[in-house]
Structures are given as C-alpha cells and as structure tokens.
Amino acid sequence: MKEWLRTLDKIDSAMEHTTLKQLLEMFAKANQGKADKTQKTNASIIKQFKLSWGYDLNMRVGDIRASHLNEWLAIHGSRLKHTSYNRYAGFLKQLFAIAVADRIIAESPFESVATRWKKPQTPLRMVPTVEQFEQIIAFVRNQKFNAHAKETADFLEFLGLAGVGQAEASSLTWGDVDWKKQQIHIRRRKTQHLYYVPIYDHLKPLLQRLHKEAKHPAPSKKVFAIQDAKKALETACKKLGLTHFSQRNLRQCLILRLWMAGVDVKLIAKWQGHQDGGKLIFDTYTEAFGSRDGEYEQEQLKKLGVQATPASTAAVTPVAPNSSPMTPTNTFKEGDKVFTLFKGTQVTAEVTLTYANEVQVRTPDGELRWRTVKTVALVPSCPPYTTPEPQSQPPTQPVGATAPVTETLVEPTPVQPTPTEVSTPLTTVEPTPKVSKKRKGFLERLRLDKP
C-alpha cells in the first residue's frame, strides 16, 4: 500500500496498461529522425528482441522486472562482443526511459540490471603491408568476368594511396581536385569537417590516368562510378588467403606508409582530417604498426642507443633442422625485462610467456601484448659491485743492484706529552639547562637581595 501511494503521482492511469509491444512501436517512432545507420542498428536489435524475448509481448510494461531483462541479456551476452553488448543494453535503457517519461511506469527496471555495461575489448587491428595491398589490387583488376573490375580496382587503389574513407571517396568530384596546389579537398561525411589531402607522388599517376580517361570532366562529375567495393575486397582477401581486410584497413595502409617514412604525426593527423593533433594516431594506429614491423622498432631503439638484438650475452641456441635460418631464435624466458615500443615511446616490459618466435609482455598499462623477438631487446643487467682486494706489490730494487735490498726497521721514538697536556684533566661539558623567564627573574631578585 505504501509503495502504491508513493508511485501514484508518477503514473498516468491512462497509460499504465501499455504493453511491451506498444512500447516497442513508440521506441521506433522516436528514433525516426536519427541517422540511417542508427535506425538500421535499432531495427536489427528490435528484431532480435522479438525473437528471443521469452515472455509475451502483450504483457504490461509495469509487470516487467529486472530479472526479465537480465535473462534476455544473458542469452546474447555469450555471443556478443562487449561493444555490441553495450549497444543491446543501451537499447533497453532507452526503451524504458520512454516508459518513465510517459508515466507508464514510475521507475525503470533497467536500473536494477546486474550488468548494464561491459568494458570494451581491445580491438585487433590488422593493417595490410604494401605487398599485400598490391596483391589485392592486382587480383581485383584481373577479374575478367567482372564488368566493373577496373572501376573497383581503381576505387580500392585510391583508398590505399590517398588514405581516405569509402564514404569520402564515393562522393569525390573532379572539382575537389586542385591540380595547381596539388591538393584534394575532402569533406568528412561523419563530421562535415573540411580538410585536404596532398596529391602524393605515389598517388599522382593514378589520378592523372583517371582524369585522362574521363576526357576533360566537368567539375561536378564524380571521380568514381561505384560507391562501395566491400564485396570485391572480401573476395580478394579470401582467394589470396589473406586476413579479412576492410576498406578502412586500406586507408590505414597509407597511415602506415607515412609513419614509416618518418612524417610528423601531427601532419599525418591533419591529412586524415583529425583535429586532435595526432592523439588518435598515437593511441590507435602506432600500436598496430609497432607490433607488426620489427625493422622499424629496431631503428627506433638504435636511436636510443639500445642494442636491438635479443639476449646478446645469452648462449647461442642452434637452429632446428626444419626451421628457416632467417627465423630469429627466441632466447627469452618468463620474467625477463625487455625494451619495447608502446604508443610510440620506449618502455620497459616484463615477459610473461614465450611461443615460437614471439613473446608476450605486460606493458605499463597492465595489458598483455604479443611481440616478435625482433621487436624487443633484453634490458642489460648490472653485476653486483664488489670492493677490489688490495694487491701486494714486490719490493723495488735500485737500478744496477744485483743483490736483494734488505730493509732495516727503525722503531719510532715515542712522543712524550707536555706538562700541560698531562696536568689538564678531561672534563665533560654538560648541556646548560633551559631556564624560563620567570625563573630568571626570581634568580635576579635573589642575587640583588644578598648583602
């Protein structure tokens, strides 16, 4: 009774009979003005919700408890990554926030859900090398039975050479290409931020060929006829036996090329349309680059004066008969302290596990990361300091002497103390006790009163 009275003014009697099915319809209407991608994501989650909800959709919203929501999240929690789980949980939060705002219920049951958020997992970023990128482009271009093979290959090649996203490349027009300033003006689709990309030397031949084939195109004509090359890229990676690279990974391929060329990170960020001064490059891309390119890390370690060969003082382990002589020998062991690069900075890490030619290290942020043995260097250990023992030297002989020289020991004459020194006894100086002002006044009056 007390609980009912407390929530009486928070619930509209005309809305308290709203069902879960009606609430889902209200949610869909409230999200109509959002981006297309967001609407598609919400529609997919609502579909999954209707299929996997273990209770009647016509149940009253007021009858739904946190245990019902915990049960539904547990069904999908095992198959979803943490980021996707957070999206599902966010859907529930927004859904019942509408119910509270419309006074259907007094409090949201989502507030009592056991796991409302999970820490996102560190993504595994795979960036293709220049050789892999060239293999992909060649494979797509040589598809004889694909009528759009050439246009698709040009589109993918532009993504990797210019370092722009799929959405920006698909909307690029010839009016955005400034041949005089050697720049390409691009507007980022997500933020509408306007920035430019230089016409790099490795990009210029492709762009000049496309302009020549377009035969003096109008400024409003688009550079590429296609909008997306996702399927062609996926097929090429599968046929070539490569990791599944996305169109975004091709963009990162240029960031890797500029990073390896020693271009300033702030300038790379500017050419990518980032407005953070290179923070995203440092926090995201350099971790993927440093873990995959041992030669670059060795060059950086040499700049710091660190020997980049593992365990130089350790015994040389013979190469197994079936292993390649080019494969570095793994001489590390658990507990070793090593130098490695972490977010563009040399740090000290501890080896926690070894496997083949790789080691697992714990970086300063507490995370475990794999490194190849070429990319780490053993921290030299300092031997303990010992006091050198004095060496006895043989007696010297005069020049031209034939017989050994014998030394005569002369006893020193004892020094007699002076009479003053003998008669003066040693006295112990005792510290003067502290006397308060009141005590000093009393002693002064006592001295004056004496006859």
End-to-end CA gap in the chain: 99
d(CA 239, CA 244): 10
Residue with the larger pLDDT of the pair 379 and 247: 247
Q: What is the pLDDT of residue 434?
A: 60
Q: What is the pLDDT of residue 433?
A: 56
Residue 272 one-letter amino acid? Q
Map tokens 């440092």 to a residue: 282
d(CA 271, CA 198): 8
Q: What is the mean pLDDT of residues 162-185?
A: 94
Map tokens 């957070």 to a residue: 86
Residue 316 has pLDDT above 60, yes or no: no
What CATH number belongs to 2-112?
Answer: 1.10.150.130
Residue with the larger pLDDT of the pair 251 and 423: 251
Residue 171 has pLDDT above 70, yes or no: yes
Q: What is the pLDDT of residue 11?
A: 81
The architecture (CATH level 2) of 294-312+331-378 comes to Roll (2.30)
Q: What is the mean pLDDT of residues 298-318?
A: 53
Residue with the larger pLDDT of the pair 279 and 43: 43
d(CA 196, CA 272): 8
CA angle 353, 356, 358 (to 5 degrees): 55
Q: What is the pLDDT of residue 258?
A: 87
Q: What is the pLDDT of residue 314?
A: 38
Give me the residue spans of the domains in the chain: 2-112, 130-283, 294-312+331-378
Residue 442 has pLDDT above 80, yes or no: no
Q: What is the pLDDT of residue 135?
A: 94
Q: Strand order in 377-378's β-sheet?
A: 368-372, 358-362, 345-355, 337-342, 377-378
Element (H, E) at 341: strand 337-342
Express each pLDDT in 342-400 by its tens digit: 777 788 888 887 766 778 888 888 877 778 887 888 887 655 555 555 555 555 555 45
The model's confidence at residue 296, banded by pLDDT at 50, 70 and 90, is low
Residue 424 has pLDDT above 60, yes or no: no
Statement: the pTM of the whole predicted model exceeds 0.75: no
The model's confidence at residue 323, banded by pLDDT at 50, 70 and 90, is very low
Express each pLDDT in 83-109 by its tens digit: 999 999 999 999 999 999 999 998 999
Q: What is the mean pLDDT of residues 155-163?
A: 95
Residue 227 has pLDDT above 80, yes or no: yes
Q: What is the pLDDT of residue 175?
A: 95
Segment among 117-121, 244-248, 407-411 with least mean pLDDT: 407-411
What CATH number belongs to 130-283?
Answer: 1.10.443.10
Express each pLDDT in 274-290 by its tens digit: 888 888 777 666 555 54
